[in-house]
Structure 1
Amino acid sequence: MFLKFKEHIAKNLPSLKDNRLLLACSGGLDSMVLAHLCLGLGLDIELAHCNFKLRGAESNGDEDFVRNSGRQWGVQVHVKHFETEEYARNHGISIQMAARDLRYQWFTEILDNTSCGYVLTAHHADDSLETFLINLSRGTGLDGLSGIPEINGKVIRPLLPFSQKELLGYAKSENINWREDSSNASTKYLRNKIRHQIVPLLKELHPTFLQNFLRTQNNLGQSNGILKNSILELKDRVFQPWKGDIKIRIEDLRQLHPLDAHLYGLFNDFGFTEWDDVKGLLSAESGKQVFSRTHRMVKDRDCLILSKLQSNAGQSYYVHIADTRIDRPVKLLLEDVRCIDERAKNVVFLDKEKLNFPLVLRNWINGDYFYPFGMKGKKKVSKFFKDEKMDLVSKEKQWLLCSDNKIVWVVGKRADERFKVDDSTRKILKITQIT
């Protein structure tokens, strides 16, 4: 196996020889074999071990084993403890997904703070088969059937061409020690059910089932590559950049056949999974929304607006009297001037002595009203938005500049009459929205 691994690295992953590598090491069979192979090739590695604190003394034993292995090999060992169950509860996800999120977040931090260039994980051919079957059971597109990618950004999986049987044979022949994870034997997890109950039956069907599967998966991956190129060309044609979001004409989508497959290809990367709901937006009333974990799609008249979920909803930002520039949540330039020198929607001139600092930048809330510049009387902000024909996303992104809870400026839209410059004004504040 060592010679096969050496040839694989030289042919397909030569960059590993020129970089320091962070090897994810659980202490189990797969990662210990990968560590031995890398050391045998003279690759420059460091170990990263995650203690998820899920198996008590057994988890601590795994940590000690990896630390001792690192000392024996003379390589640095990074270790971190995680409150995995708490993280899973707080984020409403499974323990397995929580552990995955936590470890890859940590690996990224290590890469950012060390000279390591890549993360190596010990996924192998059997892992790819299990992932294929999991995705197949849940319903998936070609992405889910194309297997675990060998290279995914800074994460590299050099053992994917090898079976677990090959890894086990190599470990025994080289007298490699490893730790057994007792949870791997439990069939309460879907992956373990597939590993222990389904995969053995599939391998009984044909003596070269795994090799045949890898060839089929490679073909699927190549077909998926062709499809992705086609989808990228389609996105260039129908995705229109719009105020930091993406606008898509519904009529352009209706012309796509088959529609379901094209919707999946266009929006799968944005985390959407409820495809009947996505399709339903095409005929829904304006204002109807569909959410993923990271994005939202809104029906707006004859278009869909795709936007990233905002993390600043409900937040307030302060503008102090000494500020000359604000960079978030919107970019504003503040100047003391002597006269009104221009008229534009992105510029407002205010009587500075009528303002109470710090001013506050916040989003619109129901019930807000102001006195539009040049008009008599007050107007609800919601009515102003309607008159301006603003869509739902634009309304939510609109910022209000306020003084003592009074709206001074609907930023970039309309100033308030109460803070205007008049004959009695002695100090003028000019605020410019920078786009």
Structure 2
Amino acid sequence: MAFMPDLPTRVLTLIRHAKLIRPHDYVLVGVSGGVDSMALLSVLHTLQDTIPFDVAVAHVNHMLRGQESDGDEDFVRAAAEGFSLPAHVKRVDIHGLAKSSGKSIQHAARDVRYDYFSELARTYGYQRIAIAHNQDDQVETFLLRVVKGTGIRGLSCIPVSRGPIIRPLLDVTRREIEQYVTEKGIRYREDSSNRKDAYERNYVRHRILPPMERLNPTVRSRIMSLLGDLTRLNERLDREARSLLTTWLPGDGEITLPVGQLIACSEETRFRILSEVLGRLAPGFIALREHIRLVEKVLQSSRPSASALLPFRIIVLREYDKLVFTAATAPPQVVETFPLRPGHTVVEALGISVDIDLVDHPPSEFSSDRYSAFLDPGSVSRLSVRTFREGDRFVPLGMAHAVKLKDYFISRKLPRTHRRRIPLLLIGDCIAWIIGERIDDRFKITAQTTKVVGVTVRKLSTISE
């Protein structure tokens, strides 16, 4: 039989390997009074002789088991005093909180504990928060996730550290913990609720794992081996997703991804990219598979302007070769027509300014600025500007026949969301220039031109390009 180092030595090895505790850290230990947390407290207290760090105790009385809960609180206070450690205790009516918040009792209790520990860390300057999760917790969590439903991303090891949270017992089985406290004579409290199979984790522990162990006595180690493989796979997929995301920088209020490159990704990598994008636009939004399926439908659509509405008012749009995510509300369509006169005119509703000059002759050279144009108004003197309306037609420069403006926009692959924001210069009732795009052939400068209108359009400084 291989030599097995004692529990403090194994924990010390993990602490050093994963850099969980540094010299002179101030460590807050979450202690329920149960066997796991009392073992953790004892081990960390022992290791203070090897690594110079300070320890404090935190306990939450969930007030779920009446006198038994109060007994746990008293026990933890006494244990902290026995180790000459400071103790922080909070009492919370978890049953009432769960009812008012709509959470399960377990979920509400967990949130309260972590919120309290984080609050203490901020207030007292604790750099680390030690939690007594062990290897059996990993196995039970894995089985719960499989039964309740999860993807590959949800099948990973519980992290040994995340931010200030550390889990020094994560490589230790519950059996080893129980053996340690028995050998050291460490007292602990038995939680009567741990014997009730009404709680999901207890059901897995008492009803699911025992028959699995009868089929294969090493099933726990086999699950841990599988978890290790899955964790490494998840880390690789996450690295790939992060690498791609760093090259696709967000725009102002929106994030644009290239359709071709996105489709070329593996489905699982794409899931992580899309989840990250949605999380960036709406912090707190946890993307589910059903949300990603909606995005996938838009991504894979043959329609160049497909769209979907997601929670948190996130809109995803397929704009030809781009997939655009935005959480901003689309501006209302401007339906008014705005008259223009020679000189400088500001049209705030369209976010533009228009400068009009009346000259006798066209310039010797035409500007390459696509927001400047010289037009022949003929006998018409009325100029105005508006946006697209259904049924609009114009004669593109170089063509002899009118085309629908909608068809022109499609041929130019202009996103549908942009079409109604493009200003149109009208001479009389005819579209003379799709500003920034193309003039109407009927208003081009010719040898017979006797009057020239020079038009320059600029976006107002508050409007992004």
TM-score normalised by structure 2 residue count: 0.62
Please report how far the alpha carbon of residue 308 of structure 1 lies from its aligned counterpart in structure 2 after TM superposition.
6.7
Cross-structure match for 2:192: 182
SS at match of 2:129: strand
Read off the aligned partner of 1:26 and give its amino acid letter: S
Aligned residue among 38, 45, 53 for 2:44: 38
Shift, 1:287, TM fit: 5.4
1:265 counterpart residue number = 272
Q: Note the C-alpha offset of 1:390.
A: 9.9
Residue 167 of structure 2 aligns with which residue? 157
Structure 2 counterpart SS, 1:241? coil
Aligned to 2:243: 233
Q: Which amino acid aligns with 1:148?
A: I
Shift of 1:147: 1.5
Q: Which residue of 2 aligns with 1:2?
A: 8
Q: Deviations over 1:63-90 (max 9, x none)?
A: 1111111112111111122343444344
Is the counterpart of residue 126 in structure 1 residue 118 in structure 2? no
Distance 1:173 1:281, change over 3 A: same
Query: Which residue does the alignment assign to 1:276?
Result: 293
Residue segments in structure 1 that go unaligned for 5+ positions in a row: 311-341, 348-374, 377-388, 396-431
Structure 1 position 262, deviation (Å): 3.3
In structure 2, the CA distance between the partners of 1:196 and 1:305, relative to structure 1 (3 Å rule), is farther
Matched, 1:247 2:256: yes
Summarize the Cα distance change of 1:304–1:54 in structure 2 as closer, same or farther, 3 Å threshold. Answer: farther
SS in 1 for 2:122: helix
Would you say the 8 A contact 2:253–2:328 is kept in 1?
A: no
Cα displacement (A) at 1:277: 3.0
1:243 Cα deviation after fit: 1.8
Provide the residue aligned with 1:372 in structure 2. Answer: none
In the alignment, is the contact (CA less than 8 A) between 2:20 and 2:161 conserved in 1?
no
Q: CA deviation at 1:304?
A: 4.5
Aligned residues of 1:295 and 1:306 also touching (Cα < 8 A): no
Residue 215 of structure 1 and its aligned partner are, at CA, apart by 3.0
Report the 3-state secondary structure (helix = DSSP H, G, I; strand = E; otherwise coil) of the residue aligned with 1:46: strand
Q: CA deviation at 1:105?
A: 1.9
Counterpart pick for 1:211 among 196, 199, 221: 221
What letter is aligned with 2:190?
E
* 1:22-421 paired onto structure 2 within 5 Å: 22-42=28-48, 43-237=53-247, 239-256=248-265, 258-259=266-267, 261-269=268-276, 270=279, 271-273=286-288, 274=290, 275-282=292-299, 283=301, 288-291=308-311, 296-299=314-317, 301-302=319-320, 304-306=323-325
Quote the offset at 1:5 in angstroms.
2.4
Give CA-to-partner distance per residue, 1:25-61, whole Å, 9 cap, x none: 1111100000000111114211111122222222222
For residues 210-254 of structure 1, the C-alpha deviation after alignment (integer angstroms, 9 at most, x for no partner) is 3333233223222222211111122234x4412234233445433
Question: Matched residues in 2 for 1:120 and 1:70: separation?
Answer: 15
Task: Report the Cα distance in structure 2 between the residues aligned to 1:228 and 1:139, rounded to whole angstroms.
Answer: 20
Q: Is the 8 A contact 2:315 2:326 kept in 1?
A: yes
Aligned partners of 1:263 and 1:279 also within 8 Å = no
Q: Do the aligned residues in 1 keep the contact of 2:307 with 2:315 (CA within 8 Å)? A: no
Please report the RMSD computed on the Cα atoms of aligned residues, expressed in angstroms. Answer: 3.7
Q: Which has the larger radius of gyration?
A: 2
Q: Which amino acid aligns with 2:202?
A: N
**Percentage of pairs with the same residue:** 30
Q: How far does the alpha carbon of each residue in 1:391-430 deviate from its partner, in whole angstroms, 9 at most, with x for none? A: 69xx9xxxxxxxxxxxxxxxxxxxxxxxxxxxxxxxxxxx
What SS class does the counterpart of residue 295 from structure 2 fall into?
A: helix
- 1:135–1:145 contact (8 Å) kept in structure 2: yes
User: Does the C-alpha gap of structure 1 residues 307 and 118 become closer, same or farther in structure 2, counting only changes over 3 Å?
Assistant: farther
Q: Distance in 2 between matches of 1:433 and 1:74?
A: 62
Deviation for aligned residue 1:149: 0.3
Counterpart Cα distance in 1 of 2:298 and 2:15: 48
> TM-score w.r.t. structure 1 length?
0.65
Give the aligned length. 328
Comparing 153-162 and 107-116, the one that deviates more = 107-116
Give the aligned partner of residue 12 of structure 1.
18
Provide closer, same or farther for how the CA distance between residues 232 and 11 of structure 1 changes in structure 2, counting only shifts above 3 A: closer
Greater CA deviation, 65-74 or 241-250?
241-250
| Deviation by residue 1:258-294 (Cα, 9 ceiling, x = unmatched) | 43x2332223453111243332343487552122xx7
Unmatched segments (≥5 aa) in structure 2: 1-6, 280-285, 330-344, 352-383, 386-414, 422-460
Question: Could you tell me which amino acid in structure 2 is paired with residue 253 of structure 1?
Answer: L
**Contact 2:72–2:189 (Cα < 8 Å) also in 1:** yes
